[in-house]
Structure 1
């Protein structure tokens, strides 16, 4: 891929796009797990805090959240350090996407956990399983199966939302494409290439998610 000398840059941007998306998914799953646990807890304060988090994040445009965290982080770090400190584009983008992913993952995991019949826990206790064994052997496999379609959608949206972090200067796929388009004055060519790369990523992701769903349902197929 040459593309008038920008082929290597496009590939580098594509790699950074995948890296940011993958890391954001990992952190988003951690946040989502905590958020789902809070929503299902007996504590009214935890439930209220989790509800406020998901409502706020899902109700505000992704780009606006990114800008608020980017500029708000700069203000906060400058106040702490006593001198001007600018938030790194990678850190701001990763943090913002993780927060976004966490909000949607919270709802997916909450619904999946609530979808497991309560009798499963009672049956596990009747078999003599302790709490850790019950979670690992009974709860998690079923939650994974129920949550996988929703998590797959979260991943696809997250993958495309990485394009938003180009506005804070991170040179991912969209930013690299914009630079190449400006330098060569051929915006259609490079934006079409970027669209093709995103489509390739999402197609591979859809096939991978479908394979995971088939594997997660393999025990049900024999029933």
Structure 2
């Protein structure tokens, strides 16, 4: 009998693929949050030219963006496995070291990659804010915290959203790279299913559809955010 979609459902592969997709989304969201926090902090440092921190940020972004993402994952995964295992075992969570290590490293690695690109997006958005707006606020005697909250941050967010959207789409696709460290995300699950059933085309096609759905839904969300920010800016 020819292997098809019904056999995938009957064998429980649909549930496995959905669980893998959930792991992919979780890794992507956590990595994006970490990347945004890194990007905002490093972007502000580069924009303000805080010496010598700006040199460290330049080195970080240049190194991470200059080497393959897969290499970053390998370096973090294999350089810290013994250290993390010892620390977790010392606290009595030896089992967690085996089950959760790949997930934690995946978030850290993808977050570091996302942060390097988010840094340039935030820096570019800050550089696009007309300097006259900030100078006028200072002339009015507004404190720095209020200038940032009322003038800099809203304009930065509106300008940065399209770039952040691009970083998010890239981050979601980068999660497929962590399959090499054994994390059971969407790509790894599809790989196991393809090898187990000897029908790689079906499983990889399903994975492609799931990735496409995630990116299309994300794109719709970012489009709505851009429209909302434009409407608020006109008021």
Normalised by the size of structure 1, how large is the TM-score? 0.91
Q: Give per-residue Cα distances to partners, 1:152-187, cap 9 Å, x unaligned.
A: 000000001100001001000011111111111111
Q: What is the Cα deviation at residue 139 of structure 1?
A: 1.0
Query: Aligned to 1:12, which of 15, 19, 22?
Result: 19
Query: Aligned to 1:112, which of 122, 125, 146?
Result: 125
Q: Secondary structure at the match of 1:170?
A: coil
The 1:79/1:45 distance shift into structure 2, 3 A limit, reads: farther
Number of aligned positions between the proteins: 222
Counterpart-to-counterpart distance in 1, 2:27 and 2:212: 17
Partner of 2:112: 99
Q: What is the Cα deviation at residue 206 of structure 1?
A: 1.1
Q: Give per-residue Cα distances to partners, 1:49-103, cap 9 Å, x unaligned.
A: 11000000000000010000000112544787999x7781101111000100000
Q: For residues 31-42 of structure 1, what are the structure 2 equivalents within 5 Å?
A: 31-42=38-49
Query: Quick check: 35-44 or 14-23, which moved more?
Result: 35-44
Structure 1, unpaired ranges of 5+ = none
Q: What is the Cα deviation at residue 34 of structure 1?
A: 1.5
Counterpart-to-counterpart distance in 1, 2:182 and 2:232: 47
Q: For residues 171-210 of structure 1, what are the structure 2 equivalents within 5 Å?
A: 171-210=184-223
Q: Secondary structure at the match of 2:9?
A: coil
Normalised by the size of structure 2, how large is the TM-score? 0.87
Counterpart-to-counterpart distance in 1, 2:88 and 2:213: 43
Does 2:77 correspond to 1:70?
A: yes
Q: For residues 15-94 of structure 1, what are the structure 2 equivalents within 5 Å?
A: 15-77=22-84, 88-94=101-107
Does 2:160 correspond to 1:147?
A: yes
Q: What is the Cα deviation at residue 128 of structure 1?
A: 4.7
Counterpart-to-counterpart distance in 1, 2:84 and 2:191: 30
Counterpart-to-counterpart distance in 2, 1:199 and 1:164: 17
Query: Quick check: 64-73 or 86-95, which moved more?
Result: 86-95
The 1:29/1:82 distance shift into structure 2, 3 A limit, reads: closer
Query: Aligned to 1:168, which of 149, 162, 181?
Result: 181
Partner of 2:3: none
The 1:7/1:80 distance shift into structure 2, 3 A limit, reads: closer
Task: Report the RMSD for the aligned CA atoms in angstroms.
Answer: 2.3
